[in-house]
């Protein structure tokens, strides 16, 4: 079967047309978006990308990770550290960052899956590793310790090789990552491995009885997920130019990663994207609203309430509902 | 696809203090259909779980065509040629009926398209073809039982273990399942071991019956012999008397 057929097989002409329009819009966006709108678009793509990465574990393979900040943090720190200390650019640093994050993922996965920790127990393990790492980074001087690691900001310079430049550069970098992750996930889902993940998510014992090597499939899921999340971390480090253990490995960072796919629709390809749009849009809207009201914490309350309403209103996520409205439902599988 | 010979030798299993299976031996020749019967709690499903690799036996061995398989992981037992159904059905609820069976077919056919075709053919044979796009969670219990059989068959086993797949089926549905299994066995030579309470099905299908009670084998023979066997009658009549009380 050709790659093209794998990619678009089963999609209606209407769905393909909508997808092409969306892609064209995203590619052209920096030409007509102002600086503020562009920064919002960047945030959306970032959450769509990490959401896609996390969704591989939870949405596809059914393994709840609440410690994905571990991989993003490791990725960011490794690439930023290599650049800061040795001038090694992020295109090379990313390989090292990914390797380290995959190793970390494999350790977490080995402990969790070998000893059959399921559900919340596995989630606790992922939190524990993220927390240990945060404490270790607090004391690791190479990475700047608790005082943080800062990358030099040179105004007006665009240096693609070292990922130094303005918002447009970072916009296209995260767009490529997000589109790449989407394509990868689609290909994975339409493969034996992807189907095995879904089977494990539904019932691991039944899956193993029909020949699914459950442990191996879960390990591959966590490795791919950690690798993609590490890339998000690298991008993040170079975009914001600073890293602190308290934020890079924070519980809140891990939770943030899970929200877009949960709101958009677990296990769906468009869920993380739709979720990222909804969440980021809401966040900006509430920031705007509450700024005028000058009541601290109001934004968080609005945001939390809105999440609650969405989860109650669409427990399966916004995307399945939206897809029906747009007439682009996927066929039953 | 042809059948494999199953040998069970002095199999034993304890759960904490409970002796669930003790010193059970029997064999199913290649291509035969045998039944495993006994009252609830006799240890039948535990024997299946040991064959299928869910947990290793405490004692004894399981051999498939002479090759030891006890202690292997379930997916490796499946690869060795054993397909099993679950008494408490375990459908992949959020997937369609077709995708449920496709997962099984992927075991021998890595290509998704080919696996789907195989799965579709098996569903048609089990009269589930028109439900293929429904979610498995939407199926009725009899259809879920059929789905269990379809998914196990999709792995192209040489030994099929059926754990009470007729339970909850109406008499006409039992007859259709019996016909399906008999045809399948005649066509492919697959070996079948079935745990069954529906005696109508046991009598119609099994050449040989093994009876277990309280974890031990108490009798084996042709269905006719078993029907006359005193120890079996005692167990079942005792059971019936207990039920009546
Ligand atoms: N995984 C298990 N853990 C503990 N006890 C079990 C387990 N599986 C079965 N048993 C016990 O072993 C005995 C035999 O059960 P089982 O093999 O399911 O009987 P049957 O299938 O003949 O009705 C029962 O007393 C049951 O409670
Ligand atoms: Mg049983």
> Which of A186, A206, A208 to probe the B interface (max B CBs under 10 A)?
A206
Cα of A18 to nearest chain B Cα, Å? 25
The shortest CB-CB distance from B93 to any of A202, A205, A212 is to: A202
Which of B14, B43, B165 to probe ligand 1 with, by most ligand atoms within 8 A of CB?
A: B43
Cβ–ligand 1 distance for B13 under 6 Å, the answer: no
Helix, strand, coil percentages in chain A from 3-state DSSP, rounded to 5: 75, 0, 20
Calculate the alpha carbon distances from B182 to A46, B99, B131 in Å: 58, 26, 23
Instruction: Give the SS3 label for residue B225.
Output: helix
Is residue A311 within 8 Å of A263, Cβ to Cβ? yes
Q: Give B15 Cα–ligand 1 centroid separation in angstroms.
A: 8
Count of domains for chain A: 1
Ligand 1, atom 24: closest residue by C-alpha: B41
- All structural domains of chain B: 4-81+157-244 (3.40.50.300)
Residue B132, phi then psi, degrees to nearest 5:
-60, -30
- How far is A253 from A126, CA to CA, in rounded Å? 13
Q: How far is CA A21 from CA A27, A269, A278, in A?
A: 10, 17, 19
- Strand blocks (E) in chain B: 6-15, 18-28, 33-37, 59-64, 67-68, 82-84, 159-163, 191-195, 208-213, 216-221
For B145, residues 6+ apart whose C-beta sits below 8 A from its C-beta are B85, B89, B165, B166, B167, B168, B169
What CATH code is carried by the domain that includes residue A301? 1.10.3470
**Euclidean distance between CA atoms A55 and A224, whole angstroms:** 11
The 10s digit of each residue's pLDDT in B107-159 is: 999 999 999 999 999 999 999 999 999 999 999 999 999 999 999 999 999 99
The answer for B 84-103 residues in CB contact with A (under 8 A) is 84, 86, 90-96, 98-99, 102-103
Query: Is A331 inside any structural domain?
Result: no
As a dihedral over the C-alpha atoms of residue A238, residue A242, residue A246, residue A251, rounded to 10 degrees, the angle is -30
Q: What is the pLDDT of residue A332?
A: 39
Interface of A with B (CB under 8 A): 1, 190-192, 195-196, 198-199, 201-203, 205-214, 331-333
Of B78, B95, B112, the CB nearest to A191: B112
Q: Which residues contact A257 (CB under 8 A, 6 or more apart)?
A: A47, A50, A51, A53, A54, A68, A69, A72, A229
Positions of E strands within chain A = 149-150, 242-243
Radius of gyration of the CA atoms of chain B, in A: 18
Choice from B15, B197, B218 to test ligand 1 binding pocket (greatest atom count within 8 A of CB): B15
CB A208 within 8 A of CB A198: no
The answer to whether the CB of B93 falls within 8 A of the CB of B137 is: yes
List the single best residue of B53, B75, B161 to mutate versus A (max A Cβ within 10 A).
B75
Nearest protein Cα to ligand 1, atom 6: B15
> Considering only CA atoms, which residue is closest to atom 26 of ligand 1?
B41
Show the 3-state SS of A44-83.
HHHHHHHHHHHHHHHHHCCCCCCCCHHHHHHHHHHHHHHH
The tokens of A252 are what? 């809140």
Query: Which residue carries 């039920």 as its tokens?
Result: B243
Q: Is residue A83 included in any domain, yes or no?
A: yes
Q: What is the pLDDT along chain A (333 residues), one digit of tens a residue?
A: 566 777 777 778 888 888 899 999 999 999 999 999 999 999 999 999 999 999 999 999 999 999 999 999 999 999 999 999 998 989 899 999 999 999 999 999 999 999 888 889 999 999 999 999 999 999 999 988 888 899 887 777 777 777 788 889 999 999 999 999 999 999 999 999 999 999 999 999 999 999 999 999 999 999 999 999 999 999 999 999 899 999 999 999 999 999 999 999 999 999 999 999 999 998 888 888 877 777 777 778 888 888 898 889 988 999 999 998 888 876 434
Interface test with chain A among B105, B112, B145, B163, by most A beta carbons within 10 Å: B112
DSSP-derived 3-state class of residue A242: strand
**pLDDT tens track of chain B, all 245 residues?**
589 999 999 999 999 989 999 999 999 999 999 999 999 999 999 999 999 999 999 999 999 999 999 989 999 999 999 999 999 999 999 999 999 999 999 999 999 999 999 999 999 999 999 999 999 999 999 999 999 999 999 999 999 999 999 998 999 999 999 999 999 999 999 999 999 998 889 999 999 999 999 999 999 999 989 988 887 778 776 655 444 33
- Contact between B164 and B197 under an 8 Å Cβ cutoff? The reply is yes
Task: Write out the DSSP string of B111-159.
Answer: SHHHHHHHHHHHHHHTT-GGGTTSBGGGS-HHHHHHHHHHHHHTT--SE
Residues on chain B touching A199 (C-beta within 8 angstroms): 92, 95, 103
Q: How many helices (H) and strands (E) does chain A have?
A: 15, 2
What is the per-residue pLDDT for B244?
A: 39
Q: Among residues A110, A132, A143, which one has the least CA distance to residue A233?
A: A143
Measured from the Cβ of residue A86, the count of other Cβ atoms closer than 10 Å reads: 10
Measured in Å, residue B44 CA sits from the centre of ligand 2 at: 6
Q: What is the per-residue pLDDT for A305?
A: 87
Three-state DSSP state, B222: coil
Q: Which domain holds residue A175?
A: 11-326
Predicted ipTM of the assembly: 0.93
CB B34 within 8 A of CB B229: no
Beta strand B82-84 pairing with B191-195: unpaired
Residues 175 through 234 of chain B touching chain A, CB cutoff 8 Å? none
The atom of ligand 1 lying closest to the CA of B87 is 21
Q: How far is the CA of A208 from the centre of ligand 1 (A)?
A: 20
Determine how many CB atoms are found less than 10 A away from the CB of residue A153.
Answer: 9
- With respect to residue A287, please indicate whether it lies within any of the assigned structural domains: yes
Strand order in the sheet with B208-213: B82-84, B159-163, B191-195, B33-37, B208-213, B216-221
B87 SS3 class: coil
Which of A202, A210, A333 minimises the CB distance to B78?
A210
A2 in a domain, yes or no?
Answer: no
pTM score of the predicted model = 0.93
Q: Is residue A3 part of a domain?
A: no
Is residue A228 a contact partner of residue A210, using CB atoms and an 8 Å limit? no
Residue A4 belongs to some domain of the structure? no
Q: Does residue A149 fall inside a structural domain?
A: yes
Evaluate whether residue A74 is within a structural domain: yes
Dig out the tokens for B56 from the structure: 């290793």
* Binary contact (B99, A195; C-beta < 8 A): yes
């Amino acid at each position: 079967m050709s790659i093209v057929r794998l990619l678009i097989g089963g999609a209606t002409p209407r769905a393909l047309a909508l997808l092409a329009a969306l892609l064209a819009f995203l590619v052209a966006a920096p030409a007509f978006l102002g600086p503020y709108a562009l920064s919002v678009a960047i945030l959306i793509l970032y959450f769509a990308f990490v959401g896609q990465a996390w969704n591989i574990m939870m949405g596809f393979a059914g393994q709840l990770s609440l410690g994905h900040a571990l991989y993003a943090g490791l990725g960011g720190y490794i690439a930023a550290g290599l650049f800061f200390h040795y001038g090694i650019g992020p295109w090379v640093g990313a390989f090292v960052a990914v390797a380290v994050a995959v190793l970390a993922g494999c350790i977490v996965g080995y402990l969790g899956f070998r000893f059959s920790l399921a559900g919340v127990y596995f989630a606790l393990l992922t939190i524990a590793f993220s927390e240990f790492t945060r404490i270790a980074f607090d004391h690791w001087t190479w990475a700047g310790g608790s005082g943080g690691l800062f990358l030099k900001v040179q105004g007006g310079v665009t240096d693609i090789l070292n990922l130094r430049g303005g918002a447009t550069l970072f916009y296209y970098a995260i767009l490529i990552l997000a589109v790449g992750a989407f394509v990868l996930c689609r290909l994975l889902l339409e493969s034996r491995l992807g189907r095995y993940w879904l089977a494990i998510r539904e019932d691991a014992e039944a899956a193993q009885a029909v020949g699914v090597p459950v442990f191996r499939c879960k390990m591959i899921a966590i490795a791919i997920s950690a690798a993609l999340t590490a890339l998000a971390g690298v991008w993040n480090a170079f975009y914001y130019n600073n890293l602190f253990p308290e934020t890079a490995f924070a519980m809140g960072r891990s939770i943030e990663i899970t929200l877009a796919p949960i709101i958009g629709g677990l296990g769906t390809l468009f869920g993380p994207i739709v979720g990222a749009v909804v969440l980021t849009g809401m966040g900006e809207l509430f920031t705007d609203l509450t700024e005028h009201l000058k009541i601290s914490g109001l934004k968080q309350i609005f945001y939390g309430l809105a999440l609650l309403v969405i989860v109650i209103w669409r427990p399966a996520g916004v995307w399945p509902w939206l897809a029906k409205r747009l007439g682009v439902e996927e066929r039953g599988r | 696809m042809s059948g494999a010979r199953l040998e069970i030798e002095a199999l034993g299993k304890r759960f904490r203090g409970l002796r669930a299976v003790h010193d059970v031996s029997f064999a199913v020749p290649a291509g035969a259909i045998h039944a495993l019967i006994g009252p609830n709690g006799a240890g039948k499903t535990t024997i299946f779980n040991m064959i299928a690799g869910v947990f290793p036996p405490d004692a004894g061995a399981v051999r498939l065509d002479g090759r030891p398989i006890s202690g292997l992981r379930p997916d490796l037992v499946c690869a060795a040629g054993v397909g099993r159904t679950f008494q408490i059905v375990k459908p992949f609820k959020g997937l369609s009926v077709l995708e449920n069976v496709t997962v099984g077919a992927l075991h021998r056919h890595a290509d998704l398209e080919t696996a789907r075709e195989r799965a579709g053919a098996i569903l048609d044979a089990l009269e589930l073809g028109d439900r293929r796009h429904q979610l498995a969670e939407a199926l009725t219990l009899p259809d879920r039982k059929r789905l269990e059989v379809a998914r196990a068959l999709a792995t192209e086993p040489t030994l099929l273990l059926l754990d009470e797949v007729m339970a909850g089926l109406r008499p006409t549905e039992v007859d259709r399942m019996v016909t399906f299994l008999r045809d399948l066995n005649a066509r492919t030579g697959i070996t079948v071991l079935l745990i069954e309470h529906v005696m109508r099905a046991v009598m119609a299908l099994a050449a040989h019956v093994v009876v277990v009670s309280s974890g031990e084998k108490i009798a084996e023979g042709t269905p006719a012999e078993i029907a006359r066997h005193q120890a079996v009658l005692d167990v079942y009549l005792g059971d019936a008397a207990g039920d009546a009380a």
